[in-house]
Structure 1
Amino acid sequence: MKRWMTLGLVGLVACGESTPPIYEPKDCPDAVESSRPRPVAQSQAVSAGEGEDFIVQYHRTVSAAASTQAAGDAVVRTGGLVRARWSQLGAVAARLTPEVRQKLAKDPQVLAIYPDHPVYAFSNGRPPPVTAGSTAEYTDGLKMVQANAVWDANDDGVLDADAPVGSSIRVCVIDSGWDDRHPELKAAYVGGKDFVDGDDDPRDYDTQAQTWGGGHGTHTAATIVAQLASTGSVNPSEDSAGVVGVAPGVELLVARVLNTQGSGKLSAILSAMEWCQQQGAKLASLSLGSDKSNPLEQDAFQKALNGGMLSIAASGNSGTGDPSTEPGVAFPAAYPSVLAVGAVDFDGEHPSFSQVGAEIALVAPGVDVLSAALTESTAYSLLDVGGARYTSRSLEFAPVGVYEGPLVYCGLGGSRTACGAAATCEGFVAYVDRGGTDSQGEGLTFAKKVTSMRRAGARAVIIGNNDPSDGVGRFTLGTVGSWLPTASVSYQDGEALKKLSATQARMSLVSVDYQRLTGTSMATPHVTGVAALVWSARPSLTAAQVRDILQKSAAPLPRGSAKGSRNDTYGYGLVQAKDALKLLETYP
């Protein structure tokens, strides 16, 4: 997931006339401080002081609402701070000190106290969707699940009249929030809530640090509901006019439960589930989870299903490919009331990261899926050296910007002295090889290399891959920070560039509003979108019936498997929109 910031080049003070002509290993002025990643503040605490977050469940001896109110009052009297109340579950979220927790544990009305465990990044209806665009917006994932065959049967880039597009179906994306600036999402949005900051602004944004998050929720939401002809800035190499979602007619609800670092709490999930139902959502899409189960969480998802909302969740990205060490399906996907989704690549093959198990219901595209990114947060790279263009790829978290200067070969880039006397504070483009260890014997991360090169005076960095079969690679700087423009090249091009020291080089990282991401997180919204198409074709269906149709119409995998059969890797198979609608014609 890309979580880049839009940063300009950070200017460094010139060495000055007093700098001696003989090379000395010392930092360029301002280089050390400016190379440090910007601090990203944690989400604002619910309360100050001591304590940890727990969920307290009470015996319900009276009405649910009265019981929950009494439970919350009891927590307050004992010294805890109540953060949320759920009348349907007879429970509250609270911050408790060890002493308060001990007191509550002795209360005969307390049924259980659970840690508020973390979860991660594994009114008016909306106007009609834009009906005409370009078939260039049809992504590989979209076509693989047959979505465009449902609403554009003649493949002319125009929505067919009266075709199911998800109209009047509310989908609640429970994730990291959204980018309200992105043209692909604005028309579909009908409401949102932030369960991280506790307000009604579910943007993927940290107001205290004034930084955007990783765009995870924006990517997943756009896979469902991106609009035709609503293009942002695109990467020319993608040959795309943007993207269109699986169900471009749905009404988008955004529930932010993950902070800008991609993590959240169970209590936020519980509150979001309750809110989504109150807003009339038919579908909840959760590209997140945990390796921990919780009876309250299981109860919440079962109640949601009983109330008519189908929850669809990612199986998780911690698969090993080894049956003896597989962790099983993550939660909430593993609960019986939730439709668990695994990932496949565009060849229909299982990627080892996708967690497997008896709970897997369906699979969908989850490798290199193209969808929306935070606007102006992602970049593609243009690299010219000596007048020749070299294929390159921007590293994750590298800022957009342009820099031109002499190319300097800096070996492994493990220290500011690696470039030798050719490095000057007037600036240069550093070429470094991938790999190596530092003076403490620890691996040289790309972040360490870039930091060292900044200290040496570099204004941009080229990383040469050390794997001849890996092309330019897909690399990351690891976190948001004040990095230099940084791009990778193939091993073969890197060998050529090493011989071009002192040649003029120009690196441009150009912002783009779309990105390719990999994970079961990317597979999940494909299934959610297909569910919305089916439900909009026959709104009288129940949540259980929608799930049944998706499973019975799936394309079995591996290829050659019998229709309707299932296995722990692919479930019932690849979700198929056109086949689901065909089955609906004869469905009771």
Structure 2
Amino acid sequence: MRRLVLLSLLGMGACVKDPPTDLVQQEQPVCPDLVVRDASEEPKALANRASARLDLVPVASSGTDTVAEGAQPVIVRFRSKAGMRTAAALRQREDKVKSLGARVKYHWPELDTLALSLTPEAQARLAADPEVLSVSPDRVVRAMDMASGAFVTSAATTPSPLGSTSEYTYGVKMTRAQEVWDPDNQGVLKPGAPNGSGIRVCVIDSGMDVRHPELMAAYVAGKDFIDGDDNPEDKDADGNWGGGHGTHVAGTIVAQLGLHGTVNPNDASLSPEGMVGVAPGAELYVARVLDTSGGGRTTDVMAALKWCHEEVHAHIASLSLGSPDRDDAEEALFQRYFAEGMLSFAASGNGGATATETSRIYPGAYESVVAVGAVDSELKHPEFSQGGDYLDLVAPGVNIYSTYPQGRSPYASLSAGDTFYNSSSFDFVPFEEYEGTLVDCGVGDGLRSCTADAAATCDGFVAYVDRGGDIRFSDKVKNVRSQGARAVIVGNNDPKDDATLAFTLGSAATWPPVTAIPTTLVPTFKGLVGSKVRVGIRGSDYALSTGTSMATPHVAGVAALVWSARPSLTNKQVKEILENSAKHLGEQNGTGRNNVFGYGLVQAKDAVELAQKWVP
């Protein structure tokens, strides 16, 4: 797991003295044309975010929700009255709000609810209307993790039957999903075994890469509630990709056995054959409700839920998102659709401690939604996973390997001659490669730190810098870049960080390729000074990610297996089967659960066996 930000500043608490003013005036960049410019100076700079992350920070909304100066997105609920759902009555209701300057975004007649944009003054006038039950903010929801043109595919999905057991991630094996559809452990979907076939799963998230090789066979249709079209790709209007959250979630559910995209060949711990989802036979529907920053609105979630239920007729909805604020209209919709047969799963949240009444995450905390928390690979409770009396189940959620938008997951490629070396890419660096002479620049603490070596010219070289020296990584790179470095290698100085090397440059800019090497390789590269080395950042189609976002699709996938094993079950029965077959973790209370692990770790094999003999 990459630890963004935590390692981005070195010696923050140390006192770093400013150099004398006259020295600052004398020391100018050797290569002014190569000075790093930040994103505001270079808006089209190619930069990427690290592929493995723990994203716990709330994101801002897109800022595109208002339609008039001062207008704010709100949810308006009317009091239910007989005769108020006729066509004439509904038009009268819409005319009333439009007379106040509102634009109607959504209208749910069955809930007597509208989504609008109104100024605060208009909101006050509407709230005073005796027919209005409430006017509340259209709250921001966010992801729970730490392509242009419409895409059409067949409505009939056929899972790929042949593959390799190397595709079985630790998450799949911990949930025992592969024991359901590959009981002989041969890397093959056993004919007739439950694999999610016939079950429609709706992923309500940030959209996804619909052309990913692992997902195309399962993908049936999508809806984009951010852009208002039928192409749910995780892109903005300029074609820039978002964080890949929805693609990662979808892969955990339906990634295909035997089909794979481009993998990182330098990491022997990951399968060269890609990965497989918990329920590779399920049908995938995608509703995009989060923008490329990971933020969205409650009303888009509600509209997506309605699409999943009324148009897709989904059995299952998976929502790796949430808000700390309860919303009555949203709760009513989840309850209505649960009563009508759909089963929804949502992340419990990444707040860590046991939730209080004011820190619960919704929709996970609604009674009609199954709340999912996380465990790590050792069945331990990760400190970020939020629990409480609303937590139902847990699943793997730490360092989960899954699909990512194609070519967007960065990995480092570092070599000298024919020898490749283990290294890690920095956050925000571009997908580029450069070969040049290696120059030792010390700790990179000045604008002349490399110039003692004759190879350090503006024509280009590869800078080696040591970690440390009470200077930020970003400043090290800026310093050596301004002396002609076209690529940078950072040598780690703390063995405890060798396993992750999760470093960041802090923000997007015109960075060169930057990689980090473990302490064990530092002597080797100091010995290579003066030799040619090649530094590159390439992109794979998979990523590691952490959060209750990653746990949620594991449970949704197991539910699909249970339902495909016995399609006559109701959603309530599927929920009860998951709870009754879960592996208990921690000390249970009188209800068979606890606030840290809920009913326990979801277990696919036991759940399917219980479903097959379940007596309603």
Normalised to the residue count of structure 1, the TM-score between the two structures is 0.88
2:327 matched to 1:294?
yes
Aligned equivalents of 1:475, 1:563: Cα separation in 2: 45
Aligned equivalents of 1:308, 1:415: Cα separation in 2: 65
Aligned equivalents of 2:426, 2:357: Cα separation in 1: 30
2:181 matched to 1:148?
no
Alignment match, 1:373? 404
CA contact 1:215–1:374 (8 Å) conserved in 2 = yes
Alignment match, 1:95? 117
Q: Secondary structure at the match of 2:322?
A: coil
CA contact 2:198–2:281 (8 Å) conserved in 1 = yes
Query: Percent of aligned pairs with the same residue?
Result: 48
2:192 matched to 1:159?
no
**Greater alpha carbon shift after TM alignment, 130-139 vs 325-334:** 325-334
Cα 1:76–1:235 shift into 2, 3 Å:
same
Alignment match, 2:306? 274
Write out aligned runs for 1:146-545 (5 A): 146-207=176-237, 209-236=238-265, 237=268, 238-278=270-310, 279-320=312-353, 328-385=359-416, 389-413=420-444, 416-420=447-451, 422=453, 423-434=456-467, 444=472, 446-447=473-474, 449-471=476-498, 472-478=500-506, 482-494=510-522, 497=525, 501-545=529-573
Letter of the aligned partner of 1:258 in structure 2? L
Q: Secondary structure at the match of 1:291?
A: coil
CA contact 1:327–1:355 (8 Å) conserved in 2 = no
Aligned equivalents of 2:409, 2:523: Cα separation in 1: 27
In the TM superposition, what whole-angstrom CA distance separates every residue of 1:526-574 from its partner, at most 9, and x where no partner exists? Answer: 000000000111112111111100010011113x869982111111111
Letter of the aligned partner of 1:350 in structure 2? H
State the Cα distance separating 1:324 from its structure 2 match.
9.8
Alignment match, 1:19? none
Aligned equivalents of 2:165, 2:35: Cα separation in 1: 47
CA contact 1:314–1:520 (8 Å) conserved in 2 = yes
Letter of the aligned partner of 1:197 in structure 2? D
Alignment match, 1:59? 79
Aligned equivalents of 2:556, 2:33: Cα separation in 1: 52
Aligned equivalents of 1:415, 1:325: Cα separation in 2: 50
Q: Secondary structure at the match of 2:32?
A: coil
In the TM superposition, what whole-angstrom CA distance separates every residue of 1:386-417 from its partner, at most 9, and x where no partner exists? Answer: 87543211233433222112233445546655
Letter of the aligned partner of 1:29 in structure 2? D
Q: Of the candidates 569, 575, 584, which is equivalent to residue 556 of structure 1?
A: 584
Q: Which runs of 5+ in 1 are unaligned?
A: 3-21, 439-443
Alignment match, 2:102? 80
Cα 1:25–1:372 shift into 2, 3 Å:
same
State the Cα distance separating 1:27 from its structure 2 match.
4.7
Q: Which runs of 5+ in 2 are unaligned?
A: 3-25, 46-59, 145-152
Aligned equivalents of 1:32, 1:174: Cα separation in 2: 38
State the Cα distance separating 1:103 from its structure 2 match.
2.0
CA contact 2:66–2:73 (8 Å) conserved in 1 = no
State the Cα distance separating 1:478 from its structure 2 match.
4.8
Aligned equivalents of 1:324, 1:280: Cα separation in 2: 33
RMSD: 2.9
Aligned equivalents of 2:449, 2:112: Cα separation in 1: 62
In the TM superposition, what whole-angstrom CA distance separates every residue of 1:162-219 from its partner, at most 9, and x where no partner exists? Answer: 1111111111100000102201111111111111111111100112x32111111001
Aligned equivalents of 2:449, 2:68: Cα separation in 1: 47
CA contact 1:386–1:503 (8 Å) conserved in 2 = no
CA contact 2:65–2:72 (8 Å) conserved in 1 = no
Normalised to the residue count of structure 2, the TM-score between the two structures is 0.84
State the Cα distance separating 1:437 from its structure 2 match.
5.7
Letter of the aligned partner of 1:54 in structure 2? V
Letter of the aligned partner of 2:315 in structure 1? K
**Greater alpha carbon shift after TM alignment, 566-575 vs 485-494:** 485-494
State the Cα distance separating 1:43 from its structure 2 match.
5.1
State the Cα distance separating 1:582 from its structure 2 match.
1.2
State the Cα distance separating 1:37 from its structure 2 match.
6.0
Alignment match, 2:33? 29
Cα 1:39–1:359 shift into 2, 3 Å:
farther
CA contact 1:177–1:218 (8 Å) conserved in 2 = yes
Aligned equivalents of 2:110, 2:523: Cα separation in 1: 64
In the TM superposition, what whole-angstrom CA distance separates every residue of 1:440-488 from its partner, at most 9, and x where no partner exists? Answer: xxxx3x4554445444432222233343212142234455554322222
Q: Secondary structure at the match of 2:96?
A: helix
Alignment match, 1:107? 129
Cα 1:300–1:42 shift into 2, 3 Å:
closer
Alignment match, 2:8? none
Q: Secondary structure at the match of 2:217?
A: helix
Cα 1:248–1:63 shift into 2, 3 Å:
farther
